[in-house]
Amino acid sequence: GQLGLKKISVLGHSVNASTEAPVNGIITRAVQTIGKTLERIVGSLSKGGLAIFMKGPQCQDEIEEALDRFGRRFRLIGDHHYRLPNSYDQRRLVVFQRLDSPPWARKAELAKENLVRIIESENNETYRNLKKLLAPRGIRKQLQALVFGQKQVSEMLVGLPEKCAAWISRADRNPPPEGSPAHLMWYQLAPPLYETLDLFGTSYPIVLVKIDEVPKWTPSEGLSAGCTLFVPFQDPENVGAVIRSAVAFGAAGIVMLAEAANPFHPKSVRASGGAVFRANLLEGPSIRDLPEDLPVVPLSNEGKKISDFKFPEKFGLLPGLEGPGLPDRFRKTALSIPISRRVESLNAVVATAVALFVWAQSQD
């Protein structure tokens, strides 16, 4: 206008991480720390673009903090010390270059590849199927599950990309990161639909994953060498937690008894820290149908001390159900975890984790 400037856009608001104003360079004075500024411009600065900081001489801590936080997204390409003309004032010109693509570029790329689906109605068939994955029946029928939380979502994309089927976000916020599987669909849900699906209130995209049907196991097949964990727990969080311990301590297999909650229930997956996707799972009978001649090591609050027990080469570790505990026929041979008299008992998940640890130590 009056200044005679052409091809200039002026933003009449502050810039934050969700701002999408495509630019190839950003120049800023020492108003905020470098890390906070990089956080604000991730929605705008293009891949290969420069973030130029006019800083004072004492900004080394800021540079190191920024590299710690954003080392995978930005690299330091310039750090120039200089003095202002006709002055003794020292300054530093710090330059970072962006390594990944901003959301606006990823959106355009995925739209071009026809990988984007916008879902605005709760009657949409895809959305109805996603909602069914919040319950065991839907998981069994579809052989799919939902993964929540930034850490577990990121680990799935990197560690098991072939199992990842779709990236589910609130509208078009937070597109799939660069390096995501080429086949990954992007479901953009209307905010109310996303909030219904976001069971844990993470506000972070959810990943839809494919799961394999759990093979059936019968007592006549016997047990593998080492420890096979029998899981009777009905609380999905307990199921996830005990699977995590079993994988951590090297159990040969994990038999989900008929009483147990689905190991791919969202609460199980979350409590397992993603270990459920790396576990050797088997589908077993009811705890009531386990034969007495099976080499089972039961756990109870009233059994013999586990520290005095010599584990066989192959056995099944059997904790009791939450509440009722073990069937009577297993109580006579049960082991217990010695604890202080100030505590009445350990919960079943903690007791199982301790027993797995004691067994694992005995193998060393």
Domain range annotation of the chain: 23-98, 103-210, 219-362
Interval 134-168: pLDDT, tens: 999 999 999 999 999 999 999 999 999 999 999 99
The letter for the amino acid at 292 is E
CA 146 distance to own-chain centroid: 10
Of 59-63, 107-111, 252-256, 348-352, minimum mean pLDDT range: 107-111
- Alpha carbons 325 and 344: distance in angstroms, whole number: 15
Of 94-98, 146-150, 159-163, 328-332, minimum mean pLDDT range: 328-332
3-state secondary structure of 301: strand
> Quick one: tokens of 103?
């959301």
- Alpha carbons 313 and 275: distance in angstroms, whole number: 25
pLDDT at 74: 97
- Alpha carbons 22 and 252: distance in angstroms, whole number: 52
Portion of the chain with pLDDT greater than 90, in percent: 76
Q: Please give the C-alpha separations between residue 228 and each of 59, 69, 314, 325, 342, in angstroms, as whole numbers.
A: 55, 41, 8, 19, 32
Report, as an integer, the average pLDDT of 226-241: 97
Interval 269-327: pLDDT, tens: 999 999 999 999 999 999 999 998 899 999 998 888 998 899 999 999 999 888 788 88
Interval 10-26: pLDDT, tens: 888 888 888 888 999 99
pLDDT at 116: 94
Kindly compute the dihedral angle of the four CA atoms of residues 339, 342, 348, 354, in this order, to the nearest 10 degrees.
-30
| Superfamily of structural domain 23-98 | Vaccinia Virus protein VP39 (3.40.50.150)
pLDDT at 194: 98
Interval 172-195: pLDDT, tens: 888 999 889 999 999 999 999 999
Average pLDDT, the chain: 93
CA 362 distance to own-chain centroid: 31
Examine the pLDDT at 344 and tell me if it is beyond 80. Answer: no
Pairing verdict, β 164-170 and 226-231 = unpaired
CATH architecture, domain 219-362: 3-Layer(aba) Sandwich (3.40)
pLDDT at 104: 87
pLDDT at 1: 59
- Alpha carbons 65 and 36: distance in angstroms, whole number: 10
28: how many CB neighbours lie within 10 A of its CB? 16
100, 47 contact by CB (below 8 A): yes
Q: How confident is the model at residue 126 (pLDDT cuts 50, 70, 90)?
A: very high
Q: Do domains 103-210 and 219-362 have the same CATH topology?
A: no
Identify the helix (H) or strand (E) that includes residue 350.
helix 348-363
The closest of 115, 26, 116 to 74, measured between CA atoms, is 26
3-state secondary structure of 41: helix
List of residues 6+ apart from 201 with CB closer than 8 A = none
Indicate the angle between helix axes 348-363 and 236-248, nearest 10 degrees: 10
Confirm or reject CATH 3.30.1330.30 for domain 103-210, answering yes or no: yes
pLDDT at 14: 87
More confident residue, 364 or 227: 227
Portion of the chain with pLDDT greater than 70, in percent: 99
The closest of 117, 118, 115, 207 to 165, measured between CA atoms, is 207
74 by Cβ neighbours in 10 Å (0-12 / 13-18 / 19+) ranks as: buried
> Quick one: tokens of 137?
């029946």
φ/ψ of residue 167, rounded to 5:
-105, 125
168, 207 contact by CB (below 8 A): yes
- Alpha carbons 216 and 212: distance in angstroms, whole number: 12
217, 325 contact by CB (below 8 A): no
> Quick one: tokens of 46?
């293009």
